[in-house]
Amino acid sequence: MPDPKVVLVTGASRGIGIAVVRRLLTQGCRLAIAARSRQSFAAALKAVKPADPSILVLTGDVARPEDCRRWVKETVARFGRLDALVNNAGILAPLARLAEAEPEAWQYNLAVNLMGPFHLAQAAIPHLRSSRGRMVNVSSGAAVKAIQGWSAYCVAKAGLTHLTHLLAAEEQDITTVAVRPGVVDTDMQALIRAEGAKAMTPERRAYFQDLKDSGQLLDPMVPAAKIAWLALQAPPSLSGAFLDYDDPRIGNEKTRL
């Protein structure tokens, strides 16, 4: 039997992150799960059995370089290797047009959504080279679409997607992909409905409200299943790709060849 894969997942206490964790557990993985505090893990950890020796709980702020480096170091110290990194942690705020945005809030958004994955990637690269591992960056359709009121988020996700292209070019032994997870029923969508009116066009805000009212938001487990597959099985031929969650190449047996 091959050794279980070791995967580090950020933003792992809720939404897509905890769904990815649950999916990976069904695959027998050893997991390092990271979020801001143990309190944020409270409900999620009940579902994933925190006493399980295959789970390492990590706390800290992905915006802090020292926390990113520590997470990778503690993961390798605990499990002896690292096979995949899932950069899932992300924030939408500030919901503000660029002209009115607070520079500090804008900077923090980039620190979480772009610089956090940079620091994690930099720390993880030596270990992922050794394991010929994978990196999955959870991006967004906002990476290629300008949405009024989402200035920091759009720019950060565009940067994350291009970081994926760059890593694929520079790190031939690591398979790196970016994923657009779709419009998912998470706390981020709740924030859009609650505060979007102050920065978004009425039409755009109504669009997101209608998705919720009509039951069209995706369950987090839908993109999570695809992200988990990529973390464990994405072939080198996909390295550098920006994939929609429903791309037929994800989970397709022929893609592995």
Q: What is the pLDDT of residues 127-159, one digit of tens each?
A: 999 999 999 999 999 999 999 999 999 999 999
**What is the average pLDDT value for the chain, to the nearest integer?**
93
Q: What is the C-alpha radius of gyration for the chain, rounded to an integer number of angstroms? A: 17
Percent of the chain past pLDDT 70, that is, above it, reads 92
This prediction's pTM: 0.94
- Domains (range + CATH), the chain: 6-183+219-247 (3.40.50.720)
Give the separation between CA 162 and CA 177, rounded to whole angstroms: 10
Q: What is the pLDDT of residue 38?
A: 73
DSSP 3-state helix, strand, coil percentages of the chain (rounded to 5)?
55, 15, 30
Q: What is the pLDDT of residue 119?
A: 98
Q: Which helix (H) or strand (E) holds 134?
A: strand 134-138
pLDDT category at 1 given cuts 50, 70, 90 is low
Q: What is the pLDDT of residue 257?
A: 37
Residue 204's contacts (CB-CB under 8 Å, 6 or more residues apart) are: 147, 148, 149, 196
Condensed to tens digits (0 to 9), the pLDDT of residues 22-55 reads: 999 999 999 999 998 777 676 666 656 555 778 9
Q: Taking residues 216-241, what's their average pLDDT?
A: 97
Q: Which residues of 58-75 are buried (b: 16+ CB within 10 A; e: fewer)?
A: bbbbbbebebbebbbeeb
Q: What is the pLDDT of residue 3?
A: 86
Condensed to tens digits (0 to 9), the pLDDT of residues 182-200 reads: 999 999 999 999 999 889 9
Which residues are known to be catalytic?
Answer: 139, 153, 157
Q: Taking residues 152-179, what's their average pLDDT?
A: 98
Closest CA to 133 of 173, 178, 172, 73: 173
pLDDT category at 251 given cuts 50, 70, 90 is confident
Give the separation between CA 141 and CA 84, rounded to whole angstroms: 23
Residue 179 has pLDDT above 50, yes or no: yes
Q: What angle do CA 19, 36, 230 make, to 5 degrees?
A: 35
Closest CA to 98 of 141, 150, 143, 140: 150
Percent of the chain past pLDDT 90, that is, above it, reads 88
